[in-house]
Amino acid sequence: MNYRSIKGTKDILPSETPLWQFVEQTIREVFRQFNYKEIRTPVFETTSLFARSIGELTDIVGKEMYTFQDRSGDSITLRPEGTASAIRAYIQNNLGEALPLSKVYYIGPMFRQERPQAGRLRQFHQFGAEAIGSPTAETDVEIIAMTIEIYKRLGITNYSLQINSVGDEECRPKYKEILNAELQKIAGQLSTESQKRIDQNPMRVLDSKNENDQKLTAGMPLITDYLNEECATHFAKVKSLLTAYGIPYTVNGRLVRGLDYYTKTAFEITSTELGSQDALAGGGRYDLLVKELGGKQTPSVGFAAGMERLLMILEKKGFQPPQQRPTVFIAAADDAAREWVLTTTMKLRSQGIASECDLLARSLKSQMKEADRQQAEFSLVVGATELESGKALLKHLSDHSQQNIVLEAIAEFFKH
């Protein structure tokens, strides 16, 4: 029997993990500098948590979730995103009691049964953050600025930021009615997908990727013209702060995003370096979600970004992450030295020095080849002669310089 990984999932191989680790470290560093703390939630939750948060009518809940009954008959779902779980954990653990504003971040796998293609997987990875407990535009802009800082830090400059305000529970229903009436007039000409959305979620029709839909809806009223005073003031403040921070943006009055929990600010970062799946990151404000899930009214804002899409850009740019390599490869010149080589390698490791030696009983020549293959910084050849004299020749493999070192003092040598 030949086993293959499941369609839409990927092995991240040892040759690829240095890039992942480097990027993850950079992301964690930025989160730390912005004072966001990591939260780790389970990868599966009760199905209704996601259905309730993301929205029954969204593509994610309607067609993409990995949902199954466990052996006790409970409906379980592999998390398709991180916000719902973070908010569930926030409520369950009373995080709001200790701090008026909880700033949390996560990095981890998410699951959506979408049609796999470049940049779209069924198990993919997101990094994201949530600022739970602040209604201010300053918080929205901190989230956006932090997202952008991550890309900047990694040398990615070819992206664009689109923002919108999707209103709140007061102004949005009124706007939806107006839009719905307009859409009804052309309903028959819209794509089947959009036709289905006219009644339940007319704003998604404006966000349709279908070119004909786009043409048909070109002159339709936009939410940005129907915001109430509170939403309009908030949006104006977000825009002026983005300008003050020197972050370029465009307003896209059609941007609604594929999750239903947003209120006020919604944003997306796209890159032309990606193919049709061009969204690097997305997020926004969700002032009603905590209450919806059983907590107190807690205005919040957050974002999430796709790891694989970010890595695709770095790979395309030929980005070379630092590789994992041993500081020293100790080679045994003869059998008499093998035990010394093994025990010394172990000793160095326990003193924090990355060391390697041969485990395959290979000839000295093959051991030296291995030292090169592993890109060891130094090699040290030890045989009966060296053990007797207590000294051996240490080679710097990159510039071929060499020097004699005292074997007794080998650990001290590498520590300096």
Contacts with ligand HAM by CB under 6 A lie at 81-83, 112, 114, 119-121, 124, 126, 128, 130, 258-259, 279-284, 302-306, 308-309
Distance of closest approach, residue 141 Cβ to ligand HAM, in angstroms: 14
CA angle 265, 262, 276 (to 5 degrees): 85
Quick one: 287 or 386, whose CB is closer to ligand HAM? Answer: 287
Give the H or E element holding residue 56: none
Distance of closest approach, residue 109 Cβ to ligand HAM, in angstroms: 11
Name the residue among 81, 46, 84, 86 with its Cα closest to residue 67.
46
Distance of closest approach, residue 119 Cβ to ligand HAM, in angstroms: 6
Quick one: 141 or 330, whose CB is closer to ligand HAM? Answer: 141
Hey, what are 247's tokens? 């972050």
What one-character-per-residue DSSP string does 18-53 give?
HHHHHHHHHHHHHHHHTT-EE----SEEEHHHHHHH
**Positive/negative CA dihedral, 150, 153, 155, 158:** positive
Classify residue 114 as exposed, middle or buried by CB count within 10 Å of its CB (0-12, 13-18, 19+).
middle
Distance of closest approach, residue 326 Cβ to ligand HAM, in angstroms: 34
Hey, what are 15's tokens? 């040759």
Quick one: 40 or 396, whose CB is closer to ligand HAM? Answer: 40
Quick one: 119 or 202, whose CB is closer to ligand HAM? Answer: 119
Quick one: 27 or 305, whose CB is closer to ligand HAM? Answer: 305
Alpha carbons 109 and 307: distance in angstroms, whole number:
9
Residue nearest to ligand HAM (CB): 306
Distance of closest approach, residue 354 Cβ to ligand HAM, in angstroms: 33
Quick one: 108 or 321, whose CB is closer to ligand HAM? Answer: 108
Alpha carbons 312 and 182: distance in angstroms, whole number:
40
Alpha carbons 313 and 269: distance in angstroms, whole number:
14
Distance of closest approach, residue 53 Cβ to ligand HAM, in angstroms: 9
